[in-house]
Structure 1
Amino acid sequence: METLLDWMTPRTFLAAAALVALILAADRFGGYPRQWFDEWRYPPVGRSVGGEDIAAALDGHQSRRLHRLYGRVSSEIAAARAQGLDVTGLQEAADASLTLDTPRYRDAAIERLNHLSMAVPQRPTRTRPAVMDDESEDRLPTPPSAPARPR
């Protein structure tokens, strides 16, 4: 108990208060030196020299992709029209989706053309039903037996 009373002096309280203040200040302002070091070590990069060229090339590539998809859908619609199927309004919708060829609406135009591609009617395929009778099982070939192994 005497040791505890020996430590309870104004000088000890002042040191403890300074330690608590130092810990709180380090917690509050500790991120700033690291942020300053990161900004000094890795400064922010301005606009690159070829950035516009890369963005223009990417935009052109995506626009050509949309035009190829439009051509494919238009040819599917023309083939369905040649077969005599009802394709009213599909070509107009495809033409309208081609007007959305801007970077902001290009994804919506591609999605719309994909939906139109699925909406193009197809001529029904002719199928022949399979005969299910007992004779079909007898006509299955039997595999030859394996040769005996010499002993």
Structure 2
Amino acid sequence: MIHVQKVQVLPLSIECSQKMAHLASKVHSHPMSTSTIETCFGPLYTSVGIYLDDEFRGFAILHQIFENATLMDICIEPKFQGRGLGHLLLDHVITFAREHDAETFFLEVRESSVVARALYIRDGFREAGYRKGYYKTASGTEDAILMELTL
């Protein structure tokens, strides 16, 4: 018997901040804190979660000011990575930004995040610059690659 899994992308509320921070701590070496995530529920932010068979498996936080949209974070539970959930979530927030009159979509990614960079390039992003030493690491810092997508 084949089990077909139900995938949903749903809006998140500030009450989800703690579970978002918990998930981020599993994925990122230096994740946003619960209190920082809570600040991402103001009028300029949109946070969505991805659910697999009604279980929370990831999230994305989008910040949009007029025509500029920025992906603040995207996070998929490690054991569910590589199944297309990140791609679905990214497509969802890109579509949302486009529908809300964004013209350019920005994000930053660790230089070492080869898989994430490939996902973004596959979705049409291009490298637009660098931020030296932007991300903390266990041994110091790592550069961020700035990427953009014209909507």
TM-score category of the 2 structures, normalised to the smaller one: under 0.3
Query: Which protein has the bigger helix share?
Result: 1
Query: Which protein has the bigger strand share?
Result: 2
Q: Computing the radius of gyration over CA atoms, which structure comes out larger, 1 or 2?
A: 1
TM-score, structure 2 as length reference: 0.23
TM-score, structure 1 as length reference: 0.23
